[in-house]
A = this chain, B = another copy of it.
Amino acid sequence: MTSFKAQESLSEQIAQHLARQIINGDLLAGDRIQELRIAGELEVSRGSVREALLILERWHLIDILPRRGAVVKDMSEEHVRSLYEIVDLLFGFVVTKAMGRVQDDELTPFIELIRVMQAQVAARQVDDFHESAFQFIARATRFAGNSLVEQILDNMQPAIRRAFYLALHINRDEMQESLSFFKALIESLLQQDADAAREVIGEFVEHQRGIVLESIMRARQIEEAWNQRHRRS
């Protein structure tokens, strides 16, 4: 078990710990997160867990419901649509702002990251690739030159990670698709082509939203078919 030291950002550490479990599916939509149980497991105060839950709510990973307490957020169709819509808008904003301000040599770390991701695709290291992709995104976010947009994207990142993790695990080709997206994005930045960049983003967002939505609907169909058969028998 992970252990936690008492320090300023204890609640943030607890939030990170729970976030990882939600992102990789150890905690599922609808699962309750019980303050007391978490406090006991991690040997932290109940107050720290309460603060961690507020952070997880800000990260769009849980809902805090009156009386029911904290519950892992449902990956509803509405949530997925909203998420990819705002990703499209904010990534589009970031690249538009980046155009013309970013020097070619500032793109070097991205090109190196793409090399790393290329190796991860070849070795089928899905989780490492997932991590690299968000290093890329976190780094790119700084080009916005807008601290509020950075904060919004930071707060949105866990929910994006969760959807992206799902996409990578349901579609064998999604690593390759994502790699091509990151390459095309850097290419459009090198060519100072804002329209191309927004188009690249729009297409990738639409593609990945489709995969995630399809998986959600398939899961629902299986659920419904099961329930129907159950009722019949």
- Is the beta-carbon distance between A152 and B149 smaller than 8 angstroms? no
Q: A8-B66, A51-B54 are in contact. Are A89 and B93 (CB under 8 A)?
A: yes
- The 8 Å CB contact of A149, one of B58, B86, B148, is B86
- Is the beta-carbon distance between A60 and B8 smaller than 8 angstroms? no
Complex CA distance for A156 and B35, rounded to whole angstroms: 28
Copies in the complex: 2
Choose among A81, A146, A156 the residue with the greatest number of B CB atoms under 10 Å from its CB.
A146
Which range holds the interface residue count of chain A? Answer: 20 to 34
Complex CA distance for A86 and B90, rounded to whole angstroms: 9
Say yes or no for A55: interface residue by CB 8 A criterion: yes
Complex CA distance for A86 and B8, rounded to whole angstroms: 30
- Is the beta-carbon distance between A147 and B79 smaller than 8 angstroms? yes
Please give, as numbers and ranges, the residues of chain B lying within 8 Å of A81 by CB-CB distance.
146
Say yes or no for A78: interface residue by CB 8 A criterion: yes
Please give, as numbers and ranges, the residues of chain B lying within 8 Å of A50 by CB-CB distance.
47, 51
List the B residue with the shortest CB-CB distance to A83.
B148
List the B residue with the shortest CB-CB distance to A151.
B60
Nearest-Cβ distance from residue A65 to partner chain B, whole angstroms: 10
- The 8 Å CB contact of A54, one of B55, B78, B147, B151, is B55
Please give, as numbers and ranges, the residues of chain B lying within 8 Å of A51 by CB-CB distance.
50-51, 54
Nearest-Cβ distance from residue A142 to partner chain B, whole angstroms: 13
Please give, as numbers and ranges, the residues of chain B lying within 8 Å of A78 by CB-CB distance.
147
In the A-B complex, the 10 residue pairs with the smallest Cβ-Cβ separation, listed nearest first, are A82-B148, A82-B146, A47-B47, A86-B148, A54-B54, A82-B147, A8-B66, A58-B58, A85-B146, A89-B93
Residues of A at under 8 Å CB distance from B?
8, 47, 50-51, 54-55, 58, 60, 66, 78-79, 81-83, 85-86, 89, 93, 146-149, 151-152, 156, 159
